[in-house]
Structure 1
């Protein structure tokens, strides 16, 4: 017989799982894409303008000072491009999410002391649209992913330095403590210590009477993290059969996990040799009049980039059609029935299925690039990634329990085509970890590769991934070429 305490634990566990499963995944996720962050940026501008009116009417110096502090780090950008560039920086994206999630509710309590109920209605409506706890958690995970994969350090990030570039942004003490807490919770004690140390040296803490005083708990947080780090070291040492020299190397090294995927995202692959660029005028008769600029990336399996195959006018049409189509969050994995954790979001995706001049033009261009038929596979996928979002190494063909849509009628995915519809200044590369190949997104370029051998069996070397974006809005237009429509176009040769 189970005791009362055991039954209470079981009931609470079931309720916790049910609560997680009941979470509406269709809810707004600002952190999932630059598109979402643009919406949050505009929402904050509404919030600031509303507070500015009350600051003047009440002649409130505290409120005026708070608004000035926001504007120093969040200058109102005039053009759409300026606003997009601002929120596409992962540091700006994080501070925007943290500020609106953590600070807004506390300022609401303060505003209730100086405004009446009718005046609070407008502010309440804005704050109700703030990022929720899950959105904040995903933004923190995006930061963790970007740091770990690119081997970034807190001391650089606090000062606005991403890889080799310096941006005009500095993280506050509250920003540093929020990141440090998250790293402590996931057991990344080495990075947590670095962030707490950076917090103690960061910008002056303000508005502690209204918000909170992160400095008050900093020593305790630091002590708990050191304790966790020592416990982790003891576990590693006791469970290790390595020599003492190898044990001495264990110091919580931030870059101890190094895979081909990490190397590719850090730009450490050797450049390919003896490959050429040429004009392709043989794949289709039309190319004799307008040949394509083709760059060979890899010969076996065949990977090629076509330059200047998607034009600015078409990119504008693509975004316009995406705005009119159904937009949803794109998930990395399917959630199992008994899984209580939220799935990782990689971006916002839309399927363009209605026939249009844009779709016809793009599909014809893919036929010119590949020589394959698009019959029955006319739809296109548009995706916009959020800062820090990535796509882990995976295959496009049927593998690891994944089954592409319409596989029974169209067959497996023979090849993949990705058009890059934006410039990504830092990060966002497409990496083939088993080939030591990485392709940096270039606006207007089209990437083509094969997922199968000539006998249509799966080629595991086609495994690929997307690196976290650090600076830039990563827009892609993706098409998968299925096997069945190519029945009389693709020769089927025995595998060598």
Structure 2
């Protein structure tokens, strides 16, 4: 009976998806359901075939061979967190998301009441208490006894806890090395669980703070305060308007890099996104055929991104919980297309690639984002800055979009209040440092969550060693960045 009902369900999905697989997979609710099917139902199919000793069938062998690739429970949780990240950043309505409506595009199936409840749990564990309340209330409104994997009392307990402790539930997160005595009554069970488990779980919505000590910032900017998450979300939504006096300074033009022979007959299209710091977006810097080759080279070596968790005594590399993405590194020997792209970046920017890093290729998952940061150092250098790095600091960033993203997924420059749109074949370029060598903290930026789409991007970071004759240090310490 299980096999029959599941086969019928899959047949219905396959019939509707086969016409346009790409349209199906770019929707985050469809992605959530796909991950959930492989993590639960296909795993159950595999277990049932084992139980009924159907080990010799072709189907069972195929499933066995693929089982190690199946998502796990943590992936379901991660995709639920991705949905919440999208909701938080773009301020989406809970009811619309539950109906599968994200930015006017509907998923193949709605979220079940049980799924709404589990997204509410994810919101609670992530410290998004208002969102948890909304999801729990919604799950109770749609609740039908006997058809759910949770009891009505579970959702009600969460709501009671949130209502009773709304005043002090946030400050408790700041408690460290404190002993709190709470009677073990039935009404306090959720509260006890919260205190014991929440502190280490609030990761997916908290942006990892950028570390910029006074030594890294110019003398004029030592009192600088980095923007909060609300401004980052506001920029991602496009709620920040460009002032008229800035807009008048921005232009679009064709660029030949002072008559570079490679660009004379094929100049690059340039759009200025901001004037100070100078941020530009190039168009048609890479062809669709080259994009396909780069993706093909990167896919076999994609791995989950890591970040460094560091204190004064120890460094510890961990999987990045706050950025749902996989990355790969490609150098000029990986294929002719990479070497050709490296040369093209040099022609466009006028910088040497002798001390540039390998090309980083990234694919973002459900609600994938990268929180606001500076590119002047690599991730593992941001906590304890390596001033004696042989190639020096990252002087400039060349960010290439390898796919179209229907909604979201832009690069938000928080201080400028402008977002670069992820247009396939285009590239965003900026300097991370002033000509004086001071870090330009105005380039504080982050990758907005992908709302609808499948985002591929690549980065080429150019380090300062080898650039003295290509980008000379200005005598005026306060000289601003100009790319051309």
| Cα distance, 1:178 vs structure 2 | 2.0
Match of 1:315 in 2: 291
2:134 is aligned, of 163, 182, 194, to: 194
CA displacement 1:15-43 (0-9 Å, x = unmatched): xxxxxxxxxxxxxxxxxxxxxxxxxxxxx
**Of residues 129, 145, 153 in structure 2, which corresponds to 1:220?**
153
Selected match of 2:167 from 225, 229, 234:
234
The verdict on how the C-alpha distance between 1:306 and 1:125 changes in structure 2, with shifts beyond 3 A counting, is: closer
Asked if residue 267 in structure 1 is aligned to residue 238 in structure 2, the reply is yes
Q: Which moved more, 1:88-97 or 1:371-380?
A: 371-380
**C-alpha displacement at 1:260, in angstroms?**
1.5
Asked if 1:67 is matched to 2:7, the reply is yes
The number of residue pairs the alignment matches comes to: 409
1:94-150 per-position Cα deviation (integer Å, ceiling 9, x unaligned): 112223323444555655676656559535555454322332332222222222122
| Mapping for residues 102-117 of structure 1, pairs under 5 Å | 102-106=40-44, 116=54
Q: Closer, same or farther in 2 for the Cα pair 1:107/1:168, shift >3 Å?
A: closer
Map 1:365-444 onto structure 2 (within 5 A).
365-377=344-356, 379-398=358-377, 400-401=382-383, 403=385, 408-444=389-425
Q: Distance in 2 between matches of 1:232 and 1:342?
A: 32
1:109 and 1:159 map into 2 onto residues whose CA distance is: 32
Cα distance in 1 between the residues matched to 2:382 and 2:356: 23
Partner of 1:136: 76
**Cα deviation 1:353-382 (Å, max 9, x = unaligned):** 143421232122212221111123262111
RMSD: 3.2
Contact 1:334 1:343 in 2 (8 A): no
Q: Which has the higher helix share?
A: 1
Is 1:351 paired with 2:329? yes
Equivalent position SS for 2:305: strand
Structure 1 CA distance for aligned equivalents of residues 239 and 349 of structure 2: 30
Matched-pair contact (CA < 8 Å) for 1:335–1:343: no
| In 2: Cα distance, 1:338 partner to 1:357 partner | 37
Contact 2:32 2:80 in 1 (8 A): yes
- Asked if structure 1 preserves the Cα contact closer than 8 Å seen for 2:405 and 2:422, the reply is yes
Question: Residue 247 of structure 2 aligns to a residue in which SS?
Answer: coil
Query: What SS class does the counterpart of residue 71 from structure 2 fall into?
Result: coil
When structure 1 is superposed on structure 2, of 298-307 and 138-147 the one drifting more is 138-147
Deviation at 1:282, TM superposition (A): 3.6
Map 1:467-478 onto structure 2 (within 5 A).
467-478=448-459
Distance 1:181 1:373 in 2: 50
Equivalent pair of 2:361/2:459 in contact (CA under 8 Å): yes
Which string of whole-angstrom CA distances, capped at 9 and with x for unpartnered residues, describes residues 228-258 of structure 1? 212332327999xxxxxxxxxxxxxx9xx86
Provide structure 2 residue ranges, at least 5 long, that are not aligned to the other structure: 173-204, 206-227, 479-484
Q: Please, which runs of 5 or more residues in structure 1 have no aligned partner?
A: 1-59, 240-253
Q: CA 1:224/1:114 → structure 2, altered by over 3 Å: closer, same or farther?
A: same
